[in-house]
Chains A and B, each alone.
Chain A
């Protein structure tokens, strides 16, 4: 082996390697177990003794030099690969992102959870009540006896059963059920489904969600009610909204109110507030003594307030849903958006 010629030849080959695979091949050709250098070293024994040392040194020098060239070339290739990777050639920033397939929770569920969490954090318990309800709970115990004109506005679905069953028209029956189950003082909310036999349109459906709230304690006052409702609105709209209470008639509260909040969507009137800057948000009031009595609670000792919040309406406000019927439509193109 001529060390100089071998080295020159190897240098050419190494420099022309375009990738690690080719380099590995060249490295093997010269430095492998059966490579050129190994063959030269194996041939030393056949040389005259005086040449052996020189030939051995030459071969080892070549070996070392080639190894250095290989390592250097590998570094160059690495650097080039890194450079190339960084160049971003072929990257099209206008390509769409990959679509992530996900599931979804119904908007009513999301709004309900948010409110449940808010009230749970304030020590309210969450109760459930049946959707097919006894007339007793839906009306009688709520101070709405048979033939009371207030029954008109309830547009009740009557179940053909002698026991006096109705599809509950509001979540208020849970007030009475709560009083039967719990010892005062207590604070509860009861979200759920309600039914009204009324013509459906973009803002009315015969099935909708409400959330009842009730607090029973000592000397619960209108002032407490106002405070609790303002806290509730802060939780929902994440800012302070002016509220106003005005008289509203609901037989199960006395005094009864409608609570209006300053429209969170405008300052000088919009379609949501019907250009009044107030939105009618929730009916509420102090629990009527007859209702406390119907629930087995002494109205001389205890008092309380109750309120009802329209969850369907709130979900519509929250997400800008323009047709309430989407909520029960089961259309995936709607559901997927949440």
Chain B
């Protein structure tokens, strides 16, 4: 909301409170000031001139040659194109060097062969109006040579207040409310304002019926003999300062009253209300054309102003086109009403039609305000047009009650909540300055809340504490240390686990942590074939194809893959996040929340070596194994999963459990090759990609222990290399089982170091080579022990159709 400093001065003496100080006061005690600017600053440079002579331009019919006294030694010669310029006028002159709106700098010029040393301005050139059919003729008494702003009292400052910070303060949506704050802050009194209802004749009131409880009060004032003409300058300047375009005196006064007292109002052409006023809910499918020319489709919950069956205004939001005041209107009905905040808000939100009026109604306006606003309007109008009359008694219909209330305030409670030693007198004084009525009741205070503050804002003791605190100023409250029992906060296993995961992965594993949006794109879901899976869906997404909330974290990592691969040939990414499963919602409707870790390792295909363990799948499996062990999972049981997720290679996939039979902790797989191609990993971006999904929920539920120390062997072991020639169909695991069996408990470690196919190995067979460590806890092993192991192994290998390679 824009606030004019000069406008505030109509309500409170601002002597000694300069505009920036006032802005700071509001910021620190009332509401957030977003900015402060001078109103039309160029008016301090444009000066009052007197046209001494006006002659025809020697060379152009429509131009005149003026000699203008601007208070300098010599009059200026100025070429002017306006038809209305005449000798003897006081005019606004922009001299050479002055900058007008639009960064328009006045320069010396020659117009049709004649020198011109400035410009005589129109209102439009000064952004003071739309008129452009002539120059602006100033009133006679303006002193020649003075700045226009000074001569006309146009100097003003415009303060912008953040509307959000006024959400709870309907009383601050007019200048008088803001002035009341300034008065309270500085201990000044507001200038008196006549708030009595308008004086009227005793004709029959205009017929008004209210059929909906969402209109609590409806006032109608009949006005006769008003002329539709331009407003006086003072009114125009104030409206311009707060960003309103002056139209005519009726519209301008209506706006002025709203911006002055915070009470919206609307003038109808009474002749277009043949059946009186009927405040009712809209009928389904009913339409109204609002003043902006738009046809609006209404619903039954919308509140309408009707006349008979016809809709004439959208209550509290905008008037109707059909009943608007025209130049020939002779009889007006001024509506000043109180409408239900939620109703106005719902309708204006649904129609996307937010107006100055709806912004105020949705804050819950004071139902005692309409008579004062109607009286204000009537008195202002009569001042300007003494011949207007108000022949009929004021219509005043509705079922409303005065919201003014009384609250008990415990001064001790104020002191304890603020942490400030405020004497009772100070508390009383602050509240009184804010228009609260305060009476002592024992050690308590009985506080009367004025109706303007009681509609929503001040309803509890706590609200009064805020009033005291903000006027006292929070900056005056001393900092205090909290006293509390010294005890460690309760442990949070998940957070601790997540930290260990992050540390292990970003450290030894050299992975980079990513955070992705929770929304997953339709394209990704299509590629995964997950489009029909249940997703939490957002009704108003940023983009139509990103309406779904992810079920799993892993697909998010695929999104960045192609772009990143263009920049880097090796990517190691992980993300810890949440997935949502609406099909598993609880009885309160909360979707099941999964905590997951997703990993991805992608390497340019040509960089992956020939070595048997260089595939990303093997590498990533190593990362996952290390991670799980570092988290205290004692045994890792790897197996093929029963179901293959859409992102996984159908064969190259394993899941791992802490011990057989448990919930799987993780799944590791190569990326489904078709999916890789579909997301752009082909040609020069062809990549070997492995992915893994770790369930943090399952990890939390699993048995994990601190890894125990294992004694260092007391006797040296024997290391030997064993190369075995075996059929392709035999798996490495089977071979290791045979090796371990042959060791009779002495095989302490087996490490695969080569897989070979080719010369010296028949087609259909392969060679696997292991470093084997034999170790005994009771003795140093001898050559004989080694020989016995090898002979047992050779025998065992026969069952696999395998043999030792020499």
Tell me the A residues contacting B by CB distance below 8 Å.
101-106, 108-109, 113, 116, 120, 123-128, 130-132, 134, 146-147, 149-150, 152-153, 157-165, 167, 185, 187, 193, 195, 197, 200, 206-207, 215, 217, 219-224, 226-228, 230, 244-249, 251, 254-258, 286, 288-289, 303, 327-333, 335-336
Contacts and interface: CB of A to CB of B under 8 A. Distances in A.
B466 A254 contact: yes
A247 to B, nearest CB: 5
Contacts of A150: 167-168
Given A224-B482, A246-B32, A247-B470, A126 B492 contact: yes
A134 B590 contact: yes
A160 B495 CA distance: 31
A129 B320 CA distance: 48
Interface string B454-484: 0000001011011001100011011111101
A132 B542 CA distance: 16
Contact of B571 (A104, A153, A332): A332
Given A157-B540, A161-B536, A255-B470, A331 B563 contact: yes
A289 B462 contact: yes
B509 interface: yes
23 contacts: A103-B506, A105-B506, A126-B492, A150-B167, A159-B538, A159-B539, A167-B518, A217-B482, A223-B418, A223-B419, A226-B480, A244-B475, A246-B28, A247-B29, A247-B30, A254-B462, A255-B465, A255-B474, A257-B474, A289-B462, A328-B517, A329-B560, A336-B512
A178 B339 CA distance: 38
A149 B516 contact: no
B419 A255 contact: no
Interface in B423-438: none
* Residue picked from A106, A123, A162, A330, most chain B C-beta under 10 Å: A330
Contact of A330 (B27, B462, B514): B514
A163 B517 CA distance: 24
A255 B457 CA distance: 11
B477 A223 contact: yes
B580 interface: yes
Contact of B484 (A101, A104, A113, A185): A185
A331 B469 CA distance: 48
**Most chain A CB atoms below 10 A, which of B341, B485, B506, B567:** B506
Given A147-B346, A222-B417, A207 B518 contact: yes
Contacts of B168: 150, 249, 251
B462 to A, nearest CB: 5
Given A109-B502, A128-B494, A197 B542 contact: yes
B31 interface: yes
A332 B564 contact: yes
B260 interface: no
B348 to A, nearest CB: 11
B559 interface: yes
Nearest to B345: A147
Nearest to A135: B589
B568 interface: yes
B490 interface: yes
A250 B432 CA distance: 25
Contacts of A187: 484, 489
Contacts of A101: 510
B507 interface: yes
A335 B574 CA distance: 11
Contacts of B536: 132, 159, 161, 165
B480 A103 contact: no
B479 A230 contact: yes
A18 B470 CA distance: 91
A3 to B, nearest CB: 50
B489 A104 contact: no
Contacts of B484: 123, 185, 187, 217
